[in-house]
Chain A
Amino acid sequence: MNGGRRKGGGAASRSGGAPLRRLQVALGAWFVAHGRALVGSLGRLARTPLSALMTVGVLAISLALPALFLLLLQNVERLGADWDRGASLSVFLELNLDEARLQPLADELGGRADVQSTELITPDQALAEFRNLAGMDDALDLLDDNPLPAVIVLQPESALDADALRAMGDELTALDEVDTVRLDLAWVERLQRISELLRRAVWLIAGLLGLTVVLVVGNTIRLAIQNRREEIVIAKLIGATDGFIRRPFLYEGLWYGALGGLTAAVLVAGVRLALAAPAAELARLYQTGPILVGPGLQGFLLLGLAGIALGLAGSWLAVGRHLAAIEPK
């Protein structure tokens, strides 16, 4: 008995040493306590693999869906930006304009501050191009004269927005030599509106699905707390702090979130892989850059972090609401 007592006091006298040593011991105990909770909660998940898997599956889908939507949005915006920069003004000149005037006019327009470059398409060139493109050789041969006007294609400064481009178009239309100015903005604007609509919808859906993750984890942890009610009461009787009791449940939520995020990342990668071939085909047809760019390492990391954060948030909710209600009676 006394021998045991002396030995039992060993830990206390060790921790009663120099402050630095005491801090070391306290830190060590802290890490061990957290490590135990971390490993222990994973062990509990492993003991009920089927229900854990189902929960993780729900979480993975709830996380993968917004991730996929966000990915889609990102790609639409990227492509939109590409096309936006490609917006150009086609300045159709009067039909009866002297050929000699064309190049000087193009140079003049090219000298403007808001113009990056110009390209002159003479009526002959236009006709040749038209022949190639439209495959209407025979029909064009029927015409006596070249019906096509000369066109100057303006590449505006990329910083200009839609309104500035429109103002520029009006200004050019007012010139004597200019018949009409075609501004290919309508569809760029539509694309912008669509992607804005998409962005809002995607974030709304992402928010709702994120809430789903919080609620699913919260409910799972609530059940776990109920199942271990007896254990919680006994631990409180023995002198467990709230933190000690809370810890395994918080880590359980963290595990759910992390596993859900990881599975979601696998799902996202799988979906992208499944869509890679048709997307590449589409990109080839439209001669754009790659259409479906993946989330990258950063995106996957963010997905994992989002899972962990939402899982923790869910377990915090459950723990805060339900643990306080369990007191030894």
Chain B
Amino acid sequence: MIRFEHVGKRYDGGFEALRDLDFELARGEMAFLTGPSGAGKSTLLRLIALLERPSRGHIRVADIDLSRLRRRHIPYLRRRVGMIFQDHLLLHDRTVFDNVALPLIINGVVDHRDVSRRVRAALDKVGLLGREKYFPVTLSGGEQQRVGIARAVVTRPPILLADEPTGNLDPALSAEIMQLFVEFNRVGVTTLIASHDLALVGSLGFRRIGLEDGRVVIDHAGVAA
């Protein structure tokens, strides 16, 4: 589903964020990206969503060669990749409902009842049903992150990327959030999560790709997957 072939990313100024990266994530697989900060985890995720282009090599996502993808086709790729960020990136002047509905609107879902039903389903999955009319600032950090997750999954994308989704949360909340990803993966969503929480990642038993200095240094197959 996601395949990196000799991918390198060098920023202006000479910093090499990724060097000769080579790995593949199968359809329906779940994996964690680990490594110290600056190892290239975020850069790797950003390349998949084409927030940046690699300097070298090829990336294939859902059988699409990203280096051949034209700029005007990028939005359609991003619609198939649900993304979750450490700082949630919610719209603070919109309600929870409107935040979660945004991807549906962007996808051109017309029927209001359809939108409403799917938003509720997504919020139900992350345990926030009944909070539709709240504004994000009135929610806790963990709840805001759940809204972000609901927004990422409301269009049922085949791929889910999360960049440090539990970065600001306490261990109990972190475990709950991770459990949500496990559930999404269980219904076939290819999931890649960057996290520095080695203990939590280890306890879940999925494949772990360890990055260091822009290279893959560890690639443990999961035990539970």
Q: Determine how close the nearest CB of chain A comes to the CB of B173; give it in whole angstroms.
A: 22
Q: 8 Å CB contacts to B: which residues of A1-37?
A: 1-2, 4-5, 7-8, 11, 25, 28-29, 32-33, 36
From B76, B102, B118, contact of A235 by CB (8 A): B102
Cβ-based interface call for A107 (8 A): no
Cβ-based interface call for B9 (8 A): no
Q: 8 Å CB contacts to A: which residues of B67-82?
A: 72, 75-80
Tell which of A122-130, A240-248, A255-263 binds the partner. A240-248
Contact A235 B110, beta carbon cutoff 8 Å: no
A5 to B202, CA, bound (A): 30
Q: Which residues of A contact B121 (CB under 8 A)?
A: 4, 7-8
From A3, which residue of chain B is reached at the shortest CB distance?
B121
Cβ-based interface call for A234 (8 A): yes
Q: 8 Å CB contacts to A: which residues of B107-125?
A: 107-111, 114, 117-118, 121, 125
Q: A11-B109, A230-B91, A237-B78 are in contact. Are A242 and B72 (CB under 8 A)?
A: yes
Q: Determine how close the nearest CB of chain B comes to the CB of A249; give it in whole angstroms.
A: 16
Cβ-based interface call for B83 (8 A): yes
Q: 8 Å CB contacts to B: which residues of A233-287?
A: 233-242, 244
From A35, which residue of chain B is reached at the shortest CB distance?
B110
Q: 8 Å CB contacts to A: which residues of B135-177?
A: 151, 156
A192 to B109, CA, bound (A): 62
Q: A7-B117, A238-B79, A238-B151 are in contact. Are A244 and B106 (CB under 8 A)?
A: yes
Cβ-based interface call for B183 (8 A): yes
From A7, A233, A238, contact of B103 by CB (8 A): A238
From A36, which residue of chain B is reached at the shortest CB distance?
B105
Q: Which residues of B contact A32 (CB under 8 A)?
A: 108, 110
Q: Determine how close the nearest CB of chain B comes to the CB of A295; give it in whole angstroms.
A: 41
Contact A8 B106, beta carbon cutoff 8 Å: no
Q: Which residues of B contact A328 (CB under 8 A)?
A: 51
Q: Determine how close the nearest CB of chain A comes to the CB of B137; give it in whole angstroms.
A: 14
Cβ-based interface call for A231 (8 A): yes
Q: Which residues of B contact A230 (CB under 8 A)?
A: 91
Contact B72 A8, beta carbon cutoff 8 Å: no
From B103, which residue of chain A is reached at the shortest CB distance?
A238
Q: Which residues of B contact A36 (CB under 8 A)?
A: 105
A235 to B118, CA, bound (A): 19
Counting contact residues on chain B (CB < 8 A from A), the size range is 20 to 34
Q: Which residues of A contact B78 (CB under 8 A)?
A: 236-239
Q: Which residues of B contact A236 (CB under 8 A)?
A: 75, 78
Q: Which residues of A contact B103 (CB under 8 A)?
A: 238-239
Q: Which residues of B contact A244 (CB under 8 A)?
A: 75, 106
Cβ-based interface call for B2 (8 A): no
Contact B183 A29, beta carbon cutoff 8 Å: no
Contact B110 A1, beta carbon cutoff 8 Å: no
Q: Which residues of B contact A25 (CB under 8 A)?
A: 110
Q: Determine how close the nearest CB of chain A comes to the CB of B124; give it in whole angstroms.
A: 8
Cβ-based interface call for B224 (8 A): no
Cβ-based interface call for B89 (8 A): yes
Contact A11 B114, beta carbon cutoff 8 Å: yes
Contact B110 A28, beta carbon cutoff 8 Å: yes
Q: Determine how close the nearest CB of chain A comes to the CB of B94; give it in whole angstroms.
A: 8
Q: Which residues of B contact A240 (CB under 8 A)?
A: 75, 106
From B110, which residue of chain A is reached at the shortest CB distance?
A32
Q: Determine how close the nearest CB of chain A comes to the CB of B162; give it in whole angstroms.
A: 13
A231 to B106, CA, bound (A): 13
A4 to B79, CA, bound (A): 19
From B49, B83, B118, contact of A8 by CB (8 A): B118
Cβ-based interface call for B199 (8 A): no
Cβ-based interface call for B223 (8 A): no
From B122, which residue of chain A is reached at the shortest CB distance?
A4
A237 to B109, CA, bound (A): 18
Q: A2-B187, A234-B89 are in contact. Are A239 and B105 (CB under 8 A)?
A: no
* B78, B118, B151 interface centre (most CB from chain A within 10 Å): B78
Contact B183 A239, beta carbon cutoff 8 Å: no
A328 to B187, CA, bound (A): 29
Q: Determine how close the nearest CB of chain B comes to the CB of A45; give it in whole angstroms.
A: 16
Q: Which residues of B contact A239 (CB under 8 A)?
A: 75-80, 103, 106-107
Q: Determine how close the nearest CB of chain A comes to the CB of B159; give it in whole angstroms.
A: 12
Q: Determine how close the nearest CB of chain B comes to the CB of A105; give it in whole angstroms.
A: 84
Query: What 11 additional pairs, Cβ within 8 angstroms, besides A29-B110, A234-B91, A241-B75?
Result: A1-B183, A1-B187, A234-B102, A235-B106, A237-B78, A238-B103, A239-B77, A239-B80, A240-B75, A241-B76, A328-B51
8 contacts between A and B (CB under 8 A): A8-B121, A25-B110, A29-B110, A36-B105, A237-B49, A241-B72, A244-B75, A327-B51
Q: A-B pairs with the 3 shortest C-beta distances?
A: A239-B79, A239-B78, A4-B121
